[in-house]
């Protein structure tokens, strides 16, 4: 009898652990935005299209968002999904807007080999728009640097 209770308790703990790792109950369902290239070209500037849809990179120091200090939200320029808050931003000295974390559930990642060696590219989870690359040289508490193209973002003041 005691063994049966032990096994049942162990199974219950395992189930509770799995449930705790699942998405939170209040997670927001994000609808995907899927457009044809012609539709994206109507919606975006040519420079934004090159970054968001063709995974380009803007020139360092060219974005005014790198110097943005006001309170607010940084949203995807392709679909308006909020990705970062101003509290997540820091001055990395790289010439691109940088963040040490992101709003949970808003970014996806994949490995990019465009410079021969592997890098982690991240994109908007709603429209799949390329945002930038993440590096392991950021500040505490995460140690991450989400190095974002300013053209891929829009700033919404608080």
- Residues carrying an active site annotation: 147
Distance CA 90, CA 97 (A): 8
């Amino acid at each position: 009898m005691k063994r049966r209770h032990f096994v049942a308790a162990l199974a219950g703990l395992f189930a509770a652990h799995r449930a705790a790792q699942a998405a939170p109950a209040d997670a927001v369902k994000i609808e995907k935005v899927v457009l044809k290239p012609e539709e994206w070209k109507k919606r975006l500037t040519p420079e934004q299209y090159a970054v968001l849809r063709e995974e380009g990179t803007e020139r360092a120091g060219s974005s005014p968002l790198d110097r943005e200090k006001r309170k607010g939200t940084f949203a995807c320029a392709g679909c308006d999904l909020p990705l970062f808050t101003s509290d997540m931003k820091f001055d990395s000295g790289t010439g691109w807007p940088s963040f040490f974390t992101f709003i949970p559930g808003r970014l996806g990642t994949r490995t990019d080999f465009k410079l021969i060696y592997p890098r982690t590219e991240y994109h908007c989870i709603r429209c799949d728009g390329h945002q930038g690359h993440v590096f392991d040289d950021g500040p505490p508490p995460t140690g991450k640097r989400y190095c974002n193209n300013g053209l891929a973002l829009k700033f919404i003041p608080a």
